[in-house]
Structure 1
Amino acid sequence: MAEAWDHALLALRLVALDPALGGVHLRARSGPVRDALPLPDGVRLHPAIGDDALFGGLDLATTLATGHLQSQTGVLDRPGPLILTMAERCQPQLAARLAAHLDARPRALILLDEGTEDEAPPAALCERAAFRVDLSGVALSDITALPEGPEPTAHAALGPDIAAQITALAATYGIDSMRAPSLALRCARALARLDGMSTVTEEHVATACGLVFGHRATQVPQPPQEDDPPQAPQDDVPDTEDRQGTDLDIPDELLLEAVRAMIPDGLLDRLRATRATAGKGAGSGAKTRSNRRGRPLPSRPGRLDTAARIDVVATLRAAAPWQTIRRDETGRAGLHIRATDVHTRRFEEQTDRLLIFAVDASGSAALARLAEAKGAVELLLTQAYARRDHVALVSFRGTGAEILLPPTRSLVQTKRRLAALPGGGGTPLAAGLDSAGELAIQARRRGMTPTICLLTDGKANIARDGAGDRARAAADAQTAARMIRAQAIEALIIDTGQRPNPQLRVLAQTLDAPYLPLPRADSHRLARAVDAALPA
């Protein structure tokens, strides 16, 4: 892992030499290894920083003391690179503001990423950072000092043909952003300047492509077939020695290998897994507005009542510009605050997500796919536990439904209840939907975001009153589905039968829910399909 440390030092030196490279995405937990990095003295930002601190605004204390409007600058007006701590927690709103600032004023941005495997800074900021370095596996023994080079030159020339070659290389590795080739060209010039050279060499271009393209690659090009006919030499193309200026003739194989060597282990597998579950949540429910707790939001004008919390600073800031006029109107000294000045504090919090598994344990399901359904639910429960979701288990068989497990995060208890789930009897589909719907409504009242995952073969034959009547059973299931949809509860129907059931497709339309027919699928495929279809 000493190579990763050397790359981190080189990346920091490059962005210090040329801030237009955008910056460095440093993935490392807080500790002695990260503390040993020679981070530049820059402007420290945190994920919850507000617009007033970023862009500046009214200087409240001076304005109230002098009676005249006084403004103050924000942290973005300070010189030096930007260092965003806990970048994996950066919200899209802050990322958009920083991205717009970087586009208008090129400067280095250091993203300190302390997240887990499924956490990362916003893509808008990662795209603008030329380099990404993962120091997760670096030990203290790997820490070395990068040897000092010659005095950097002021400029390094690069031939025009290299731009087209680097752009084609980016397309070969599945990089669809034109920002990446531009950063690679700038990186090649910066590498040459670090070496004290005025001309970019073949080694500089190869190193730059590896540093910039390695973590951005989404595919690995296949090597050419051995039986391909060799290219005939062209007599009208001059040799490299005869070329004038700074043009280079770099073999494509050299650049391909340079990028392939820099692709992190397992990166492409993680990208495929990310695309399979793109847009899905990671254990978080809906975002709700709160006046008591959560992530702070900008204050808004409000009223004096017991339900709201007054933002004193924002209220004083709104009242400050009018103090001179109000004193002249009233003839009284002191601070004048009116109802229109009152601002209230707001917060945003994410509710816990609850996955309610409604499992068909009837005789028809037991003969068909109950074993695979149990295995799929167990795998989904493990994934839900890793995402810190709450889970609940509802079983329906015979003439009714039973809540085997109320909302919980206990993986052991859930697996024990699932393993003891018996099979046999009729299919009271309406009863199962009713129980799952009531459980979802109760969970929503407690501040959760429920999702019903129904696993059944759809052969309903037991009505709500327990009588055996297929027509009434299907009608009752439709009624229960309409009640769930009226409550705006997210749902998912997975058909575990040997063949797709048209009645379940109609039921999914009534629920406005995805319908997944998965005949001949084992528990692993079943779990992957359900996990990919679950709403965020």
Structure 2
Amino acid sequence: MTTAPPDWIRAQRALAALAVDPAGLGGMVIRARPGPVRQRLEDGLELLPLPLRRVHPGLDDIQLFGGLDVAASLAGGGLVRQPGLAKHAAALVMPMAERVPPGLAARLARVLDGNSGHCLVLLDEGADPDETAPQVLTDRLAFHLDLSEIRATHALLRQPAPADMDAARAHLPRVEVPDEHLAQLAHLAARFGIHGLRAPLLTLRCARALAALDLRDRVTSEHLREAAEMVLPSRATQIPQAPDENDSPDPPRQQESEAQGDGAAMQDIPDELLVEAIAAILPPDLLTRLDRGGSARGGGQGFGAGGKRKGNRRGRPLPSRPGRPDGRARIDVVATLHAAAPWQPLRRAATPGTRHLIIHPGDLRLRRTEEHSDRLVILAVDSSGSAALARMAEAKGAVELMLAQAYAKRDLVALVTFRDTRAEVPLPPTRSLVQAKRRIAALPGGGGTPLAAGLRAAHDLALQGLRNGQSPCLALLTDGRGNIALDGSPGRAAAAADARDMARLWRDLGLPAIVIDTANRPGAEGAVLAGWLDARYLALPRADARRISAAADAALSG
């Protein structure tokens, strides 16, 4: 006789536990493409004691929180308010959860944190391992179910008769948890690299729901083990190490407590058995995901300098377009009146006695803007060697020129200098010309060329800029002849290897860069460095500040 795989049985138990305590467990993530397997599990959502509401990743603020229905108000001639989904407790089912934008994810997280009785079911249909639902939501949901390996024949097997859900929900408030389980769960989460208390608390709620399904008055060790297997594996960030044999084990704990109703004694499961049980069902690609560092979908590619995307400031206006107000878009009143004006004679003829302006929902026009992210120009200057004074003077002039242009273009400029054995950031990202002049007035020069250290400092500034919603780009002034490694030791071979590694880190970000070769007689080193960075190369051995600024602006803007 064919039996269902453990993952499918575990999914059914998770669904039953969610039906007992939907608000406490938050919900679940179901990772599966549309098909009979996912549909079978979706059919089980009818067990939830909440109305099911299917929502779209394009859900707007008015639909979620409620507000003034502008279109209905204009059509009816009076204020019409519509309630939002957040007003009444419901089970929100979100298909294509991997496409939920960050703003909507934050607002849904606020709804879940408001203790309003909602639960959320995310249907993750991502085809790529990096295409996943937003972490701000998945952290708040107890169960993460991956049904990609479940076959349709397993999903169609006869399921066990469901428990009496009404009796289980009524029994849930009476379920007690032994105190020793609390510390055991916290220790267990720490072994798997799970930080914070949300995961242990969700595990505890799951154990209580499982005990309520069995109509038990106390959480047993078996309930705790089953809950830990359902909640913790998807959150693990490390594989637990085996205990050191030299460590003296703690004396065995034998806690005997009478379970109410059956008189049987309960004994705690040893921590190592719990660890082994959870480790056995860890995601098979855990190590691969940790190597990728949990990179978000798309990584750093596509962030061109000044790229057209959602930025951190307003952009230039674009022509208005028809649409429905969603709580975020602004109505273009003039364009709306222009659209409605030609139809007024016909509309007034259809409604005799009407003297006011008649506006229909189709007349509404919404304002649009084209937003550009702030550009951060990182100017990395080689201040080493005998020509340092000349290059520093050129760099200071270039920075001042770029700062003067920043007032018109709203760019930020940062300065990185590298000499001797280290790199410094004398000028953090700024638009202030006064501050720039003060910081770069007396920069020292001379010493070795720690090219790798300069590239690493520029890379760190770029990552900080990306986190702030900016579009970094790099203008590197050097002859490319590094002779100091990252650890400060001299040697051209080691310095070149470290510079190549640091340059590839920048290239992996997909950000624009330009290498300006300032050597009196440019050699192959500058061009090779540009290749490592995937950057443009310009040989300007006698460049003045104005030529440097113009060349950098033209190359980085293109």
Which TM-score tier does this pair reach, normalised by the shorter chain? Answer: 0.5 to 0.7
Task: Give the residue type in structure 2 aligned to 1:335.
Answer: L
Deviation track 1:218-244 (CA, whole Å, cap 9, x = no partner) reads 2222111223334456xxx7x444667
**For the structure 1 residues 32 and 453, does the alpha-carbon distance in structure 2 shift closer, same or farther, using more than 3 Å as the test?**
farther
Instruction: Return the letter of the residue paired with 1:38.
Output: E
Indicate whether 1:7 and 2:27 are aligned. Answer: no
Matched, 1:107 2:55: no
Contact 1:14 / 1:187 at 8 angstroms: preserved in 2? yes
* Contact 2:257-2:266 within 8 A present in 1 as well: no
Find 2:328's aligned residue among 283, 298, 320: 298
Q: Is the 8 A contact 1:47 1:86 kept in 2?
A: yes
Give secondary structure in 1 for the equivalent of 2:121: strand
Give the counterpart of 1:501 among 434, 437, 449: 449
Q: Alignment partner for residue 96 of structure 2, among 70, 86, 94?
A: 86
Tell me: CA distance 1:55–1:172, structure 2 relative to 1, closer, same or farther (3 Å): same
SS state at 2:235 partner? coil
Rounded Cα–Cα distance in structure 2 between residues aligned with 1:494 and 1:33:
58
Secondary structure of the corresponding residue to residue 111 of structure 1: strand
Contact 1:478/1:510 (<8 A) preserved: no
Task: Indicate whether 1:29 and 2:33 are aligned.
Answer: yes
Partner residue in 1 for 2:268? 249
Structure 2 CA distance for partners of 1:524 and 1:450, relative to 1, 3 Å: same
1:333-352 paired onto structure 2 within 5 Å:
333-335=355-357, 344-346=366-368
Aligned-partner SS, 1:128 = coil
Match of 1:45 among 55, 66, 72: 55
For residue 186 of structure 1, what is the aligned residue in structure 2?
205
Residue aligning to 1:57: 67
Q: Secondary structure at the match of 1:133?
A: strand
Which secondary structure does the structure 2 equivalent of 1:521 belong to?
helix
Distance 2:111 2:197 in 1: 19
| Structure-2 change in CA distance of 1:259 and 1:505 (3 Å) | closer
More displaced, 152-161 or 165-174?
152-161
- Classify the secondary structure of the residue corresponding to 2:368: strand
Q: TM-score, normalised by structure 1?
A: 0.60
Indicate if the aligned counterparts of 1:58 and 1:71 stay in contact, CA closer than 8 A: yes
Q: In the TM superposition, what are the counterparts of 1:107-506 in structure 2 within 5 Å?
A: 107-115=118-126, 116-145=128-157, 146-152=159-165, 153=168, 154-155=171-172, 156-232=175-251, 239-241=254-256, 248-274=267-293, 281-284=300-303, 285=307, 286-288=309-311, 289=315, 291=318, 298-300=328-330, 302=332, 304=334, 333-335=355-357, 344-346=366-368, 486=405, 488=411, 501=449
Question: Letter of the aligned partner of 2:85 in structure 1?
Answer: V
Residue 426 of structure 2 corresponds to which residue in structure 1? none
- Structure 2 unpaired stretches of 5+: 47-51, 341-352, 423-447, 463-475, 477-481, 487-494, 513-558
- Matches of 1:267 and 1:490 in 2, distance apart? 40
Secondary structure at the aligned position of 1:300 is classed as coil
Distance 2:64 2:290 in 1: 33
Conserved? CA contact 1:192–1:201, under 8 Å:
yes
Cα deviation for residue 276 of structure 1 reads 7.8
Q: In 2, Cα distance between the equivalents of 1:265 and 1:110?
A: 24
Query: Which stretches in structure 1 are left out of the alignment for 5+ residues?
Result: 314-330, 352-443, 462-468
Which one-letter code corresponds to 2:67 in the other structure?
A: G
Contact 1:113 1:121 in 2 (8 A): yes
8 Å CA contact 1:482, 1:510 repeated in 2 = no
Contact 2:26 2:140 (C-alpha < 8 Å) held by counterparts: yes
**Does the 8 Å CA contact 1:173/1:217 hold for their aligned counterparts?**
yes
TM-score, normalising length: structure 2: 0.58
The 8 Å contact of residues 25 and 110 in structure 1, kept in 2 or not, is answered as yes
Q: Is the 8 A contact 1:43 1:81 kept in 2?
A: yes
Distance 2:272 2:104 in 1: 41
What is the alpha-carbon distance in structure 2 between the residues aligned to residue 111 and residue 524 of structure 1? 43
Give how far 1:511 is off: 12
Change (3 A) 1:132 1:292: farther
% identical aligned pairs: 37
Give the residue type in structure 2 aligned to 1:117: P
Question: Structure 1 205/506 Cα, relative in aligned 2: closer, same or farther at 3 Å?
Answer: closer
Contact 1:214 1:262 (8 Å CA) reproduced: yes
